[in-house]
Chains A and B, each alone.
Chain A
Amino acid sequence: MESLTPDKIPRSQQAISVLWPSFITAIIASGVFFSAFNPRDLVPFNLDIDISPLAAYSIGFFLFWLLASLSSFGTLYFTISNCRFLNNQR
């Protein structure tokens, strides 16, 4: 059988491989970040915003998830494109 390459993984599993590890990372990152900083003391970009703590934690979590997803997506993208490139060369 031909050796299997990541570019042949179904789309749904590619999506999971981006979203799932970044989800775990976002949990750890929010835990560490919000233990060190109280959202009440944070004034992002000098904006005068008044939101509830739960909203601040939630938005923080999703920002971390987004950032980690971008990184996971980058890894997946380069893995797949490199696989295609190497396959074409053979």
Chain B
Amino acid sequence: MAQKENTVEPVLYEAHKKIYPREVSGYFTRLRVLSLVTLLGIYYVTPLLQWDGRQAILFDLPARKFYLFGLTLWPQDFIYLAALLILAGLALFFFTALLGRVWCGYACPQTVWTEAYLWMERKIEGKRGQRMKLDKAPTSAAKIRTKTLKHVVWIAFSLWTGFTFVAYFTPIDELAGELLNLSLGPWETFWILFYSFATYGNAGFMREQVCKYMCPYARFQSAMFDSDTLIVAYHPERGEPRGSRRRSVEPAAVGLGDCIDCNVCVQVCPTGIDIRDGLQYECIACSACIDACDEIMDKMSYPRGLVRYTTENSALGKRQHLLRPRIIVYATILLLLCGILVTHISQRVALDLDVIRDRNTLYRETNDGLIENVYTLKILNMDSQAHVYKLWVEGIDGVKLVSDRPEIEVEAGSVYQMVVRLQADEFNLEARSVTVRFHLQAKDGNHLKTVTDARFVGPGKS
């Protein structure tokens, strides 16, 4: 047994064969290009958008504020971001159950940038055959020139991508100015290069290997699939037995199916699989093989759709169900969460009050014989304009609020810190420690109000 093991060398992953996807055109390819170009456009244009005199979408890390158009989120609003991520995950489940791997083929950044890099490769190195020939050719001045040009273009595009990425965290005009003055900070430079390198590597070299070996979604997406999920599939009953034949030959006359075994569906596949082998987890449902096969079917004057979008049920001639428990459950949870999130954000009060009791002394007796506690208040105005606030306290009969600041005015988007003292008659204290409630309200807006509870400590009833 041990001997046998030594002689049989198991191979876990086959040696990587470079894939040269053949160019393809057709309905789904146009749809896909539209989606990819739109998404790339959104990525590169978003940091350029302005809103109220600042960048519309900016994750300002130094100031710890996230700007999303009219909305400013603070670290306290982290829950919204978490909810948004959960929502995105659920949406992925929902669309996977309904449309299969539409995310992989049309929207995943890995696909989007891989296609962009492939497009550049095609423009520089030529079509599939030319690219294969170039790679096989011995080193020559012309080969070095072509390859150098490709990498220069790729690296330039990567650097632009990395620059745009950092512009989501540092205002783009500042960043561009620093770049032109050659005064970029060390960390900004580092992140631009880091992201550029990741883009260059993932889209230029790793490509389908990321989907095959690194993507967790590719592994578990089948859990969302059922017999009514949209898939890209070959029609074996119609296609088999496959075989080549001359044009205008009736397949039945030569005892063949409609598949002419031209292998174009394999050549166009960006992950290098044969769709005729059935549903495979490498398939990112990009639908390139559908367009490729339809073109061949047109040339042969056979009906289209030998490779097509279908569902398992439809392929087996069974009834299809659009509304099924899985879809309804995903949709319900999705809508519910959306509703909660929207309601919460719309009712968000742009004001926060922190009350910290002075811990050095439990309490103090004033000259008038009152019990006094000291508190530090932190008022956070999350609104986009300054406000004047009124502050009052309840919880103890006749409690007095003493502060050396008569007017509480807080600038937009800033924190205001102040010390206040509460004084109460010992007679009115029910216990050693009583809850007091601080109320804070903007004088110019009734909806801008918040309450925070704190402890008031006294000597206690004797």
Do they bind each other? yes
Cβ A90 vs Cβ B1 within 8 A = yes
Q: Quick one: closest B residue to A20, CB to CB?
A: B214
Query: A38 contacts which chain B residues (CB < 8 A)?
Result: 64, 75
Q: Name the interface size band of chain B.
A: 20 to 34
Q: Quick one: closest B residue to A37, CB to CB?
A: B75
Query: B13 contacts which chain A residues (CB < 8 A)?
Result: 9-10, 13
Cβ A58 vs Cβ B75 within 8 A = no
Interface residues of A in 42-83 (CB under 8 A from B): 52-55, 57-58
**In the docked arrangement, what's the CA distance between A9 and B11, Å?**
8
Query: B169 contacts which chain A residues (CB < 8 A)?
Result: 54
Cβ A2 vs Cβ B10 within 8 A = yes
A86, CB-defined interface residue at 8 Å = no
Cβ B12 vs Cβ A4 within 8 A = yes
Cβ A54 vs Cβ B75 within 8 A = no
A2-B10, A87-B5 known; A35+B213 contact, CB < 8 A: no
**In the docked arrangement, what's the CA distance between A53 and B75, Å?**
15
B190, CB-defined interface residue at 8 Å = yes
**B311 to nearest A CB, angstroms?**
32
**In the docked arrangement, what's the CA distance between A8 and B8, Å?**
12
Query: B170 contacts which chain A residues (CB < 8 A)?
Result: 54
**In the docked arrangement, what's the CA distance between A90 and B2, Å?**
7
Interface residues of B in 2-56 (CB under 8 A from A): 2, 4-5, 8, 10-13
B406, CB-defined interface residue at 8 Å = no
Q: Quick one: closest A residue to B12, CB to CB?
A: A4
Cβ B187 vs Cβ A52 within 8 A = yes
Q: Quick one: closest B residue to A53, CB to CB?
A: B62
Q: What 0/1 pattern do residues 4 to 39 of A give for CB contact below 8 A with B?
A: 110011100100100010000000000110111010
Query: B62 contacts which chain A residues (CB < 8 A)?
Result: 52-54
**In the docked arrangement, what's the CA distance between A31 and B64, Å?**
12
A38-B64, A38-B75 known; A58+B10 contact, CB < 8 A: no
Query: B4 contacts which chain A residues (CB < 8 A)?
Result: 2
Cβ A57 vs Cβ B61 within 8 A = yes
Query: A53 contacts which chain B residues (CB < 8 A)?
Result: 61-62
The 8 Å CB contact of B10, one of A1, A13, A16, A52, is: A1
Query: A57 contacts which chain B residues (CB < 8 A)?
Result: 61
B78, CB-defined interface residue at 8 Å = yes
**In the docked arrangement, what's the CA distance between A74 and B190, Å?**
29
Query: B75 contacts which chain A residues (CB < 8 A)?
Result: 34-36, 38
A2-B8, A2-B10 known; A58+B191 contact, CB < 8 A: yes
Find the residue from B1, B4, B11 having the highest chain A CB count within 10 A. B11
Cβ B191 vs Cβ A2 within 8 A = no
Beyond known contacts A35-B81, A54-B170: 16 more, CB 8 A cutoff? A1-B10, A3-B10, A8-B11, A9-B13, A10-B13, A31-B81, A36-B75, A36-B78, A53-B62, A54-B61, A55-B186, A55-B187, A57-B61, A58-B190, A58-B191, A90-B2
Interface residues of A (CB under 8 A from B): 1-5, 8-10, 13, 16, 20, 31-32, 34-36, 38, 52-55, 57-58, 87, 90
Closest CB pairs A-B (n = 8): A35-B78, A53-B62, A2-B10, A54-B187, A4-B12, A35-B75, A58-B187, A4-B10
Q: List 18 A-B contacts (CB under 8 A).
A: A2-B4, A2-B8, A3-B10, A4-B10, A9-B13, A10-B13, A13-B13, A35-B78, A36-B75, A36-B78, A38-B75, A52-B62, A52-B185, A54-B170, A54-B185, A54-B188, A55-B187, A57-B61
